[in-house]
Structure 1
């Protein structure tokens, strides 16, 4: 017997192993859920924008034509959103979707995205480059800062002052711009702080959010054409702040200023009920 036949032959050298295909992630994984939440937030934004246009028209008109015409515009606006179906499906539902999608994306998805191991730096040239993982927007950004300041401070106080307070004192049918006039006359510092803070946060958030929506639509991406100059998202942040200040904040606060300069025309009994409605809010009790 040939002794060489008993020698072990070396195993063939395998070639470079091909990367294992990654299994598709579940629909609730951070990588898939984050775009869904983003689309929900973007889809609900136009409903809130329409409400803001209707709601802020009253003080803007009051700044031009006085509180009487402004109150008429406010009553017309109620026909749009203060109905059983309109308020529920055109305001509260989009607002809940907008807030919930943003909060869930930050609170639930951010830790998962940050704890997910990153892709390897060296990738074969024959394979497509992996998509960058979504990153949460910093809390210090204007969009996030104005959103959470409005949500946690100014919006609850405004809702209690102009909705729950009058409802508790049965003054909702008689409610018009005389209520903010009375608040501005008797509690000027607190009322101005609440109105200016709310309008400022909402205006900046509105403009910054519009820039995000336009950026998502891909407008103004041609570097050398007219789109690059006219694209809203390519403007510096300073120009967006100027737009928010001159286009939203200034007209609304001009109406608030005119309301503060007019006399309060309200009967004594109704005025006392307005004061009771204001005292429902803790800001007007301290």
Structure 2
């Protein structure tokens, strides 16, 4: 039987836990508003398709890029928080002597699911289309609008609907649960009031997030595809680089 670690080592581990847990909590909570802002801007475009179809969705997306696709904005306001947030939450769980919540909790399941989907979504919609090699030939920003999304919806309907709605549901549900924790931790003592029940937060995530995105996508899906055949081939090649669209 292995010897128990010396008391000095146990003491060091306890001190390390005491120091790291609040720091990691602040990092995870502090990065959340940046991600929430980006998500609201990013999801506003498909929601606006309810009013003006693919054309309006693309226009809103181009406006949103002024925030998150600048040399500074994309690196430090979007990508950095998207990496820091799940990494700090994972480190907090690994280093904690007893995790604050079960791995099967809604917050944990939606959080880790979102991290995987965001990485796949970023690769499919940001990295793959910029491949300069044939047959993609680096689809430019002016060409990469919601016609690209519409092409995916019409070419791979089941996978695209599952991917986009699963992505939206995971983000909205995780955000609603995370905001409740941030409210109770930082704001409740100043502003008072509960953040709502788990049931009300779930309903709010569906009605405020998933449903308007789903109906906006439906309107885009029904529209005719407005791209040249050569562009469609490049779109197909870009989507096919993603593991989600391999088969």
Same fold (TM over 0.5): yes
Aligned partners of 1:217 and 1:262: how far apart in 2? 45
Counterpart of 1:171?
Answer: 139
Aligned partners of 1:242 and 1:220: how far apart in 2? 25
Q: CA RMSD in A?
A: 2.0
Contact map agreement 1:163 1:172 (CA 8 A) in 2? no
Residue 281 (1) aligns with residue 242 (2): yes
Shift of 1:158: 1.1
Specify which structure has the higher proportion of helix: 2
TM-score computed with the length of structure 2 as normaliser? 0.88
Higher Rg of the two aligned structures = 1
Contact map agreement 1:27 1:33 (CA 8 A) in 2? no
Aligned residues: 231
| 1:49-106 deviation line (CA, Å, top 9, x unaligned) | 1111111111011122111011011011111111111111111112222122111111
Aligned partners of 2:198 and 2:190: how far apart in 1? 17
Counterpart of 1:49?
Answer: 36
Counterpart of 2:109?
Answer: 145
TM-score computed with the length of structure 1 as normaliser? 0.76
Structure 2 unaligned residues grouped into runs of 5+? 1-10
Q: 1:263 aligns with which of 207, 211, 224?
A: 224
Alignment of 1:58-73 (within 5 A): 58-73=45-60
Counterpart of 1:199?
Answer: 168
Alignment of 1:59-208 (within 5 A): 59-107=46-94, 109-110=95-96, 113-114=97-98, 135-152=99-116, 154-168=117-131, 169=136, 170-173=138-141, 174-208=143-177
Shift of 1:25: 6.5
Counterpart of 1:272?
Answer: 233
Structure 1 unaligned residues grouped into runs of 5+? 1-23, 115-134
